[in-house]
């Protein structure tokens, strides 16, 4: 990570290199003129060292400039974007060490073609401002890519969860209740558990938990959480303890991140929580039984979720990793959509893609296809709530989605529920699995005639389906792309 002293060295190194290039001389020539060793000169340009005052005067003479210009933190106009990058929180928060890099390595690469790179960085900054991207967005994207590369399955975390359960003699075929988890935290790790309400702390009304380690491990838990949400909150705290993680976020449900360490460790503790609540082998056995059924039955899926006493989102994340590694079904995607009741908008708040970027993914400023079962299941939950028919259980739907003008076909399982503790918001989580020979071998109910089949697309703006009753926006992008295609085809015939 970059600190103030390192910032000074990095900027000096960039300036030193640029002054040398402006003179058209080599690093070796500068070192000779200044009476410095070539290796020391290289370290200076990489921003790894900073010269003493007397050497600074020697360098100024060698580069035909003055001392004040050389030590000034200001860079030339074409290097200004690089300077902004150095001073910004972005470079300070990038997980460079986790990626096997340091700031000087990155800047050395960027400085190879400073004018072009600066233009590129300026463009990226403008794009990020236009779309409201922040450092946190990048950090969570890095984590998501890491999960995707590992098929969302981590053997070392599986082992940690299994070993911890074994030390407590918890039977793997019995669900863990939040009372058990709470008692363990208080007895073994000296936690103080307290419930709070939105009336007590209005600013925390949508926050699930707050950890206060300086107050004797005081854990405040939102009283509005469901039992599965409470179980996950407590299991995640156990995950931090099992893995001995101290660098962590203290407030849950907040998309702010102080560092990549917070993001990564929160994920690791959450993964252990999921593996403790849904042990691998019993879960695999239960899934195999579901897949061997000749017909699709949503009640069986609901019963499985209730058996493990977990939230639909926890279940879907666990399902994704186990399908990829235990069943060979790694051509899949995960989506989470939020919808405020009474609104027409649907916000895609989480996604993950294994094997490739799949057809349904984030598309800013467009209207997601209303034929998605991910949206349809929210519609059904909205309808049941409005009619007073909802029984409080998650609503589950499945669909075979054929993508318009594409070879892609997916089996999509979608589950909708209220987004507690936030009021007035319903959400859905979906797992889509590419229909291929492997899926046909594993999932026998794939041929169930009662399973809904629908022609879908990415967004209304990109869709050419005629007379679509669900359309909420004109196919502007589709029409523009078709026109461009026709122009290119005609050009080829001229």
Does a structural domain hold residue 394?
A: yes
Task: Tell whether 315 and 267 lie within a shared domain.
Answer: no
pLDDT, the chain, mean:
89
CATH code at 32?
A: 1.10.260.40
Task: Tell whether 59 and 157 lie within a shared domain.
Answer: no
pLDDT classification of 120: cutoffs 50, 70, 90: low
Task: Tell whether 186 and 65 lie within a shared domain.
Answer: no
Task: Tell whether 370 and 230 lie within a shared domain.
Answer: no
pLDDT classification of 393: cutoffs 50, 70, 90: very high
pTM for the full predicted model: 0.83
Supply 460's token pair.
């209304």
pLDDT classification of 118: cutoffs 50, 70, 90: low
pLDDT classification of 79: cutoffs 50, 70, 90: confident
Task: Tell whether 332 and 477 lie within a shared domain.
Answer: yes
Task: Tell whether 260 and 299 lie within a shared domain.
Answer: no
Q: Where is the domain boundary, 102, 132, 162?
A: 132
Q: Which of 89-98, 201-210, 348-357 has the highest mean pLDDT?
A: 201-210
Where b means 16+ CB within 10 Å and e means fewer, 124-145 reads: ebeeeeeeeeebbebbbebbbe
pLDDT classification of 174: cutoffs 50, 70, 90: confident
Q: Where is the domain boundary, 277, 307, 324?
A: 277
CATH code at 246?
A: 1.10.10
CA–CA separation, 108 vs 119, rounded Å?
16
Least confident stretch, 116-120, 366-370, 406-410: 116-120
Does a structural domain hold residue 261?
A: yes
Task: Tell whether 413 and 401 lie within a shared domain.
Answer: yes
In SS3 terms, 65-116 reads as: CCHHHHHCCCCCHHHHHHHHHHHCHHHHHCCCCCCCCCHHHHHHHHCCCHHH
Does a structural domain hold residue 40?
A: yes
Does a structural domain hold residue 489?
A: no
What are the two backbone dihedrals, phi and then psi, of residue 66, each rounded to the nearest 5 degrees?
-110, 165
Task: Tell whether 416 and 472 lie within a shared domain.
Answer: yes
Range of the domain at 385: 280-484
CA 282, distance to chain mean position in Å, is 28
Say yes or no to pLDDT of 175 above 90.
Answer: no
Q: Within 13 Å and on the Cβ side, how many CA atoms surround 88? A: 13
Does a structural domain hold residue 138?
A: no
Task: Tell whether 411 and 439 lie within a shared domain.
Answer: yes
Does a structural domain hold residue 137?
A: no
Q: Where is the domain boundary, 106, 132, 158?
A: 132
Task: Tell whether 377 and 415 lie within a shared domain.
Answer: yes
Number of domains in the chain: 3
């Amino acid at each position: 990570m970059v600190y103030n002293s390192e910032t000074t060295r990095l900027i000096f190194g960039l300036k030193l290199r640029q002054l040398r290039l402006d003179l058209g001389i080599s690093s070796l020539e500068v070192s000779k003129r200044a009476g410095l060793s070539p290796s020391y000169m290289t370290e200076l340009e990489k921003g790894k060292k900073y010269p003493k005052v007397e050497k600074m005067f020697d360098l100024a003479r060698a580069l035909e400039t003055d001392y004040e210009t050389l030590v000034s933190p200001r860079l030339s106009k074409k290097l200004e974007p690089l300077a902004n990058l150095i001073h910004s929180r972005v470079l300070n928060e990038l997980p460079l060490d986790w990626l096997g890099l340091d700031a000087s390595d990155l800047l050395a690469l960027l400085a190879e073609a400073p004018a072009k790179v600066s233009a590129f960085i300026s463009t990226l900054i403008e794009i990020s401002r236009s779309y409201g991207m922040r450092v946190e967005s990048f950090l969570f994207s890095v984590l998501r890519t890491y999960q995707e590369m590992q098929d969302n399955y981590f053997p070392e975390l599986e082992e940690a969860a299994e070993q911890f359960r074994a030390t407590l003699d918890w039977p793997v075929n019995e669900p863990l209740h939040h009372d058990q988890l709470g008692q363990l935290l208080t007895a073994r790790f000296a936690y103080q558990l307290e419930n709070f309400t939105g009336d007590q702390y209005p600013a925390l009304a949508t926050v699930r938990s707050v950890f206060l380690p300086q107050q004797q491990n005081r854990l405040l838990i939102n009283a509005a959480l469901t039992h599965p949400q409470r179980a996950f909150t407590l299991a995640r705290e156990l995950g931090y303890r099992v893995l001995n993680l101290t660098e962590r976020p203290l407030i849950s449900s907040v998309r702010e991140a102080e560092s990549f360490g917070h993001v990564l460790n929160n994920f690791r503790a959450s993964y252990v929580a999921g593996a403790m609540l849904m042990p691998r082998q019993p879960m695999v056995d239960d899934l195999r039984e579901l897949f061997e059924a000749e017909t699709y039955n949503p009640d069986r899926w609901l019963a499985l979720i209730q058996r493990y006493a977990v939230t639909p989102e926890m279940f879907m994340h666990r399902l994704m990793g186990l399908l990829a590694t235990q069943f060979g079904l790694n051509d899949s995607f995960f989506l989470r959509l939020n919808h405020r009741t009474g609104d027409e908008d649907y916000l895609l708040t989480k996604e993950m893609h294994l094997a490739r970027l799949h057809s349904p993914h984030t598309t800013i400023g467009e209207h997601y296809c209303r034929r998605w079962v991910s949206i349809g299941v929210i519609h059904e939950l909205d309808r049941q709530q409005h009619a007073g028919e909802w029984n409080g259980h998650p609503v589950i739907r499945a669909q075979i989605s054929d993508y318009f003008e594409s070879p892609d076909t997916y089996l999509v399982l979608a589950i909708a529920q209220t987004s507690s503790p936030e009021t007035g918001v319903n959400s859905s989580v979906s797992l889509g699995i590419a229909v291929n020979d492997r899926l046909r071998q594993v999932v026998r109910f794939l041929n169930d005639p009662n399973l809904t089949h629908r022609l879908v697309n990415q967004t209304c703006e990109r869709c050419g389906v005629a007379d679509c009753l669900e359309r909420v926006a004109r196919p502007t992008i589709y029409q523009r792309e078709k026109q461009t295609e026709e122009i290119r085809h005609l050009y080829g015939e001229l």
